[in-house]
Structure 1
């Protein structure tokens, strides 16, 4: 039976007022620093190849042919094309889409803040994020902790993610989840352990950057050797009160290496029985033209507002949840 009350917003008007203030404060932060706001397309012929993220597709017809467009999971590729065209440092504040399980922290449509600083590395970008959070939280004393991926793994599991045996990771994953014993992909096991054991325990009292992920989890980040000689990704994730807020990279600029990573993603998708996905050839062409040295990050605005307003469910900070859309 139709519920006539579903016309009402999911969030209280007072929360929506705070949401408006947050969006205004974000824009003010970048405007003061002369960082240009951009507004790229939501639909694209290409999409991400990441086997852990599913996309929403939309079909249309043009000149008698069926064409599939993908709703973007991030404005990253389009923004990098602008960077290659000489835009300079840029930011975008808008909607993105992911075909993922809907839950307390997840919605198929959500608001993302993404920005790129030309000439920055990922360490400088962490400083930038800390400054932004200080402004948004009205706390000029805010300090974010910084811990390596290896340190948090050792601290919370006793396992070294770079040298632990596959069996020890399987046993640890199985101990804390219903999965693990049959899983043979090392990165999948690391992610299971991280999300179930480590993530809830970090950034409890103040925001925490986790950096220097294994090179196998580099995605679109550069790779370098750490002080112990391990290959690590020049990337980080930001956690606060056990919730992931942001994911940032010292961006990979090598078109050939990026193509190889996309092709490896496609092989992984095939091994997992997932549908093949066309990668964004226009991004590769842009990288061949030349991406300036830069660092970029994506931050979940809805999640940040949840924490600022002490809300437990993402629907409590959205004008209309998916059930009321």
Structure 2
């Protein structure tokens, strides 16, 4: 049985040097480094994320992100903060995925999400050793450009024609697809293969139903969209950021909607993080935050094609 690590000693040394660059980036900007728990009695409710749950009572969850703990620190007046952390997501293993992965997540008090996007570019430039300037591409523009369909106004037939025009097979059960189902299917099959392919791109201003923990606003077309962005470089999604929602009632409503969806689709039901909601009730300052996957960023920096080339042990050989 193979026992050796998946990346070389030299690559690991190079990765450590890049991690130090990440720390130095935030230290120069007076952003405080913190450490939060990997295990928690509550978890995020995101409908599309599956989590690890421990055996025993009460059970614990391996965190899919340190987000809730970090926001509790914001509410406790810690100010600008960052964490380099390990996060865990069930059954995510592949060329660009591992069930356990490293990220850097940070929050900037009083900063708008457009400003945070510029800081994301600055960090990516520092680590990649070249200027990163990404096109700003709205959710609507991406679907119009790459799938020739307007995601907000298209009918079921319009979506089907878009699939046909892009040589994507229809799928069984699409007669009952919601608008969001068509978005997801087109994103995976048509949109994402273009994103960041030739040059970096931010995908931003997602529909309200894709807002997660982000604030929303009415755009010039009268659509309610989220102050949310993702950076793509060479077809890889590197980060997910928001201008953060601070309304506890709206946040609870979104959690409950997620749980209703999970119940309807037979997914496990996590415990809602009441301490996080208490932090919002207490008052979390206006802030923007983002989580960036370091494994993927380091893949690009070191010229590697697979996550296993930059981590010591993958989930399937640990």
8 Å contact kept, 2:128–2:300:
no
Partner of 1:54: 50
Partner of 1:63: none
8 Å contact kept, 1:203–1:239:
yes
**Corresponding position: 1:216 with 2:212:** no
Q: Deviations over 1:292-315 (max 9, x none)?
A: 000000111001111222222211
Q: Please report how far the alpha carbon of residue 178 of structure 1 lies from its aligned counterpart in structure 2 after TM superposition.
A: 6.1
Partner of 2:168: 176
**Structure 1 gap segments, 5+ residues each:** 61-65
Q: Please report how far the alpha carbon of residue 205 of structure 1 lies from its aligned counterpart in structure 2 after TM superposition.
A: 2.8
Q: Deviations over 1:259-313 (max 9, x none)?
A: 0000100111112121222111111000000110000001110011112222222
**Corresponding position: 1:136 with 2:132:** no
**Corresponding position: 1:110 with 2:101:** yes
The structure in which a higher percent of residues are strand is 1
Q: Deviations over 1:42-86 (max 9, x none)?
A: 0011101111110001134xxxxx210000000000000000000
Q: What does 1:190-201 correspond to in 2, within 5 Å?
A: 190-201=183-194
TM-score, structure 1 length as denominator?
0.93
Residues 186, 318 of structure 1: CA spacing in aligned structure 2 closer, same or farther, 3 A cutoff? Answer: same
Partner of 2:69: 78
Q: Please report how far the alpha carbon of residue 14 of structure 1 lies from its aligned counterpart in structure 2 after TM superposition.
A: 2.0
> What is the total number of aligned residue pairs between the two structures?
315
**Corresponding position: 1:22 with 2:12:** no
- Give the 3-state SS of the residue equivalent to 2:54 in structure 1: strand
Partner of 1:89: 80
Once residues 177 and 115 of structure 1 are traced to their aligned partners in structure 2, the CA distance between those partners, rounded to angstroms, is 40
Once residues 297 and 176 of structure 2 are traced to their aligned partners in structure 1, the CA distance between those partners, rounded to angstroms, is 33
Residues 178, 67 of structure 1: CA spacing in aligned structure 2 closer, same or farther, 3 A cutoff? Answer: farther
- Give the 3-state SS of the residue equivalent to 2:12 in structure 1: helix
**Structure 2 gap segments, 5+ residues each:** none
Q: Please report how far the alpha carbon of residue 239 of structure 1 lies from its aligned counterpart in structure 2 after TM superposition.
A: 0.5
Once residues 23 and 168 of structure 1 are traced to their aligned partners in structure 2, the CA distance between those partners, rounded to angstroms, is 46
Partner of 2:5: 9
Determine which of 298, 306, 312 is the counterpart of 1:313: 306
Partner of 1:323: 316
Once residues 291 and 179 of structure 1 are traced to their aligned partners in structure 2, the CA distance between those partners, rounded to angstroms, is 43
Once residues 96 and 213 of structure 1 are traced to their aligned partners in structure 2, the CA distance between those partners, rounded to angstroms, is 24
- Give the 3-state SS of the residue equivalent to 1:239 in structure 2: strand
Once residues 232 and 152 of structure 1 are traced to their aligned partners in structure 2, the CA distance between those partners, rounded to angstroms, is 14
**Corresponding position: 1:303 with 2:296:** yes
Determine which of 239, 250, 255 is the counterpart of 2:248: 255
TM-score, structure 2 length as denominator?
0.95
Once residues 159 and 294 of structure 1 are traced to their aligned partners in structure 2, the CA distance between those partners, rounded to angstroms, is 33
Residues 117, 190 of structure 1: CA spacing in aligned structure 2 closer, same or farther, 3 A cutoff? Answer: same
8 Å contact kept, 2:215–2:242:
yes
